[in-house]
Amino acid sequence: MRQTCSVFQPPPARPNRWRHRRMKEKGVQPVRPWMEKPVFISATSGTFEAYVPPEGDGKVSATLAAGAKQKFEFLEKKGKSMMAIRKIRQFDEDFDPKVFAEEAQQIYVDMHKALADFDKVKLHQMVTERAFPMVTNQVRNKTLRWQFVSSLEPPRVVHARCTDVISKENIFAQVTVRFHTKQTLAVYDRFGRLQHGSEVVAKDVLEYVVFEKHVANTYGVWRIHDKIIPDWMPPRQPSYKTYKAEEQTPEETEVAVVEEKEQKVAETAVA
């Protein structure tokens, strides 16, 4: 309904419904409807400049303990991690790596508890969007029973980096924390049979967990983003049941064949 009281609008010379015809005669394109969906980037897609854990970390030895302390001081005084921590302090003045490490451990414990209960709401608060499918991948139809027994070493911040996404001011901070803890994990399959681990036997777990926060956002929260699994880490405890070893995939065989061919060519060239 048109305004009638305050403003006087003279009636149009031609009705409004023939506006499209007039525009077409003049060759004017019709007004394009505004169809845009805002996209909010809440987490980065990976870990930037991942931390490379030193080999032999986690094996108890007096000399290594001293070495580890030196490395810890190194982090504090210089290097890219130090610059990243200073960048974080620009946004978050009270950021202290020692305090943060304890908070990080609490997030780690809460995340595992939420995963065992499969509380999706809480899990999204503990874990970034990128890590959520990785964390809940094989948990869907299973029952997890996880217990945090104790912390063998105090949690430690080992690495920190800051990145900007799209614009220079939109900064994400990624901090790697090292946890050496004692945990129990029992995985029951869909039918309630024990599939992996044990509720009673505790295991020593050494993990390097990457936490991320959208520092440019006032409501940004520290959440688990990724886990760094070094090559020298021993394999996990195998499951109880037997299984058939997977046959070598065609990709691997092709690569092997190509490598063999290259070796043969090299040998003939040398000969």
Partner 1 sequence: MQGAVPPTTPAQEIREFGLAALESSLFHLSLGTIQRPLLCTSASKLLSPSDTTTPSSLVQKSTLHTSAGNQSWERPRGPRKWLVNNQTKFEPTPFGEQERPAYVCHVKENIKYSPDKMWYVACLVRGMKIDDAIHQLQFVHKKGAVAVREALEEAQELAVRNHNVEFKSNLWVSESFVGKGLVIKGFRRHARRRFGQVKYKHCHYFVTLEEGEPPEHYYPNSRKLTPQEMLEEWLESKRQRTIPMSL
Question: Which DSSP state fits 126?
Answer: H
- How far apart (Å, rounded) are the C-alpha atoms in residues 227 and 209? 5
Indicate which single residue of 3, 242, 249, 268 sits in contact with partner 1 (rule: CB under 8 A).
242
Considering beta carbons, is residue 21 or 69 the nearer one to partner 1? 21
Token pair 């990243």 in the structure block, residue = 84
Indicate which single residue of 191, 231, 234, 250 sits in contact with partner 1 (rule: CB under 8 A).
191
Start-to-end C-alpha separation, the chain: 94
- The secondary structure element, H or E, covering residue 80 is helix 80-91
Whether 215 contacts 88, CB under 8 Å = yes
Considering beta carbons, is residue 17 or 59 the nearer one to partner 1? 17
Indicate which single residue of 42, 143, 151, 217 sits in contact with partner 1 (rule: CB under 8 A).
143
Q: Is 142 in the site for partner 1 (CB under 8 A)?
A: yes
Smallest gap from Cβ 140 to partner 1, in A, equals: 8
Smallest gap from Cβ 245 to partner 1, in A, equals: 13
Q: Is 195 in the site for partner 1 (CB under 8 A)?
A: yes
Nearest residue to 166 (alpha-carbon basis) of 50, 40, 51: 40
Q: Is 241 in the site for partner 1 (CB under 8 A)?
A: yes
Applying CB under 8 A, what is the total number of residues that bind partner 1? 17
Q: What does the block give as tokens for 121?
A: 């709401």
Indicate which single residue of 243, 251, 270, 271 sits in contact with partner 1 (rule: CB under 8 A).
243
Q: Is 192 in the site for partner 1 (CB under 8 A)?
A: yes
Indicate which single residue of 3, 29, 137, 248 sits in contact with partner 1 (rule: CB under 8 A).
29
Instruction: Give strand ranges (E) for the chain.
Output: 143-164, 171-188, 194-213, 223-228
Smallest gap from Cβ 48 to partner 1, in A, equals: 27
**Sign of the alpha-carbon torsion through 156, 109, 50, 214:** negative
Q: Is 194 in the site for partner 1 (CB under 8 A)?
A: yes
- DSSP, residue by residue, 39-65: ----S-SS-SS---PPTTTTS--HHHH
**Segment lying near partner 1 (by CB under 8 A), choices 37-45, 93-101, 138-146, 174-182:** 138-146
Using CB under 8 A as the binding rule, the residues of this chain from 145 to 184 that contact partner 1 are: 145
Whether 142 contacts 187, CB under 8 Å = yes
Q: Mark 217-236 with x for binding to partner 1 (rule: CB under 8 A) and - for no binding.
A: --------------------
- How far apart (Å, rounded) are the C-alpha atoms in residues 53 and 59? 13
Interface residues toward partner 1, by CB under 8 A: 27, 29, 141-143, 145, 188-195, 241-243
